[in-house]
Amino acid sequence: PAESPTAMRRVLPEDMVERGRCPFDPPPGLAARRGAGAVQPLPLLNGARSWLVTGFDEARSVLADQRFSSDRMRYRDATQLQPGEVAEAAPPTGAAQPREDGMFVFMDPPEHTRLRRLLTGQFTVRRMKALESRITEIAVEHVEAMRAAGTEADLVPAYALPLPSLVICEMLGVDYADRAEFQENTATSLNVTSSDEERAIAGAALYEFIQRLVADKRAHPADDMLSGLVHDADPPLTDAQVVDMALVLLGAGHETTANMLGLGTFALLENPDQLAALRADPGLIDAAVEELLRYLSIIQLGVTRVATEDVTLGGVDIPAGSTVVLATPEANRDPRSWAEPDRLDLRRARTPHLAFGHGVHQCLGQQLARIEMRVGFAELFGRLPGLRLAVPAEEVPLRNDMLIFGVHSLPVTWA
C-alpha cells in the first residue's frame, strides 16, 4: 500500500515528531497541545484534515472501536490526499475485493482475524520457553563480548540491536549470517532521510530476501514459525501472503525492542535513583519494563486509524473519512490516569498503558518483547555494575529522523 508510517511522519509538523531538550519527554509540539483537549483537530502539512487524540481513555476507545479502520487499501488516509482534497466517506462493506495480501496490520476483522490467529497459533508456550533460554544466552554472550573487548562500547550495535534481531531471526528461522543484509535494508527503508530511490531499492532487497526464505521453508520445513505458517494453514496461505506476514513480524519486532533497550538504558542512567532502586531490588524488573514502556512511548505517532462513519469521540464530532492520529506519548502521560505522569517511577502501581496498543491489533509480540527487555536489562546492569555514559547526555544522537524513536548510538563505559 502507498500509505506507510513513514508517509505519516512526513505530513506531521516537525515539532510534533522531534523531541526537545529531554529525549524522554514527548515532542514539544505534542506537549504544547496538552491544554487543547483530549481530541483536537490536527492540520497536516499536506492540507489534509485529521484529528489528534491525546487522552488515554479516548485513545483506548478508538483502538477498541471497529468504526475506526486499519485497512489502508480500502480507506485512504490523510497521507494519500492532495492539498484541499477531502477523503470520501467509507465505501460500503463488501464493495471492495477481498484482500489477497498478508499485511494483516493494515487489515480489519474478519480478514485480519484469520491471519492473526494463524500467527498466534505459532507463538506456543513451548516455543516461548525455548526462546527465553536462547534470549538469556544471547544477552550473556553479548555483554561478555563487550567486557572482553575493553571498557567502553557503543551499546546500540554491541547489544541493543543484535539481541532482538537474533531473537526474531531464530524465531522465523532466518540464518544469522544474513542478518547484516537484513538490518541494513530495514534501516534504509525506514529512514526518512533516505531518498525515495534508496528506500525502494532497500525495500525490494528485503522483499527478495524473505521470498528466498519462504521458498526455502516450503522445500525444507524446520521447527520455526515461518515453516509453521507455510505448512499448517488450512486453507493454505500463498507464498506472497507468508512473505508479507514475515515482513510485518520482522519489521515490528526488530527496531522496536532494540530502541527500548537503547533508550531505556539511557533513561535509567540519567535517573540514577531509579537505577539504584532496581539494582537494590532485582524483583522490580517487571515493573521497570512496564514503566519504561509508558514513560518512553517510542512509537510516537505511528498508530493511526480512519473513521469509516461519523463518530463522536470525547464530545468531538469526527466525520467519516477522517484520519485519527493517536499521540501515544501524551496518552501514556494523561494526568487522569497517572499521578506525576512526567516522572519515571519504577515503583508505580501497575496500570495499563498504550505502548503496545490495544484492541484487535494489540502487539502480537508483547510477551516476547517483555522477555527480551527483562533479560536484556537484567544481564546488562547485573554484569556491568559500573555502567555509565561515556559522553555528555546532550551528545547522544537521537533518532528524530526515524519513525520509531530511540538513540542512534549510546557510548557507554564501565571502567
Binding site for ligand HEM (CB under 6 A): 70, 104-105, 116, 168, 248-249, 252-253, 256-257, 260, 298-299, 303, 355-357, 361, 363-365, 368-369
Minimum distance, C-beta of residue 148 to ligand HEM, in the bound complex (Å)? 28
Amino acid in position 395? E
How many angstroms separate the CA atoms of 144 and 252, rounded?
A: 28
- Do residues 362 and 356 lie in contact, with contact meaning Cβ atoms separated by under 8 Å? yes
Angle at 261 between CA 258 and CA 267, to 5 degrees: 135
Smallest distance, ligand HEM to C-beta of residue 289, A: 9
**Rounded CA separation 61/38 (Å):** 12
Residue (162 or 414) nearer to ligand HEM, CB: 162
Omega into 329 within 30° of 0, i.e. cis?
Answer: no
Q: How far is the CB of 303 from ligand HEM (least distance, A)?
A: 5
Radius of gyration of the chain from Cα atoms?
21
As measured in angstroms, the least distance from the Cβ of 152 to ligand HEM is: 26
Which of 143, 404 has the CB closer to ligand HEM? 404
CB of 412 to ligand HEM, least distance (A): 20
Helix (H) or strand (E) holding 370: helix 366-383
Nearer to ligand HEM, 314 or 357 (CB): 357
Grid cell for residue 204: 525490494
**Cβ at position 382, least distance to ligand HEM in Å:** 20
Query: 60 or 361, CB closer to ligand HEM?
Result: 361
DSSP H helical ranges for 28-73: 28-31, 56-64
Contact of 63 with 361, CB cutoff 8 Å:
yes
Residue 173 CB: number of other CB atoms within 10 A? 19
With respect to ligand HEM, which residue has the nearer C-beta, 257 or 322? 257
- Closer to ligand HEM at the Cβ: 278 or 364? 364
CB-wise, 230 or 414, nearer to ligand HEM? 230
Strand partners, 317: 312
Distance, in Å, from the CA atom of 391 to the CA atom of 137, rounded to the nearest integer, reads 29
Residue type, 162: P
In the numeric block, the cell 489477497 is attached to 100
Residue nearest to ligand HEM (CB): 365
- Pairing mode of beta strands 304-307, 411-413: unpaired
Which one, 325 or 368, has the nearer CB to ligand HEM?
Answer: 368
The long-range contacts involving 275-278, CB below 8 angstroms and separated by at least 24 positions, are 275/381, 277/346, 277/347, 278/346, 278/377, 278/381
CB of 6 to ligand HEM, least distance (A): 14
169/414 with CB nearer ligand HEM: 169
Residue 35 DSSP code: G
Cβ 411 to ligand HEM shortest distance, Å: 23
At its nearest, how many Å lie between ligand HEM and the CB of residue 53? 13
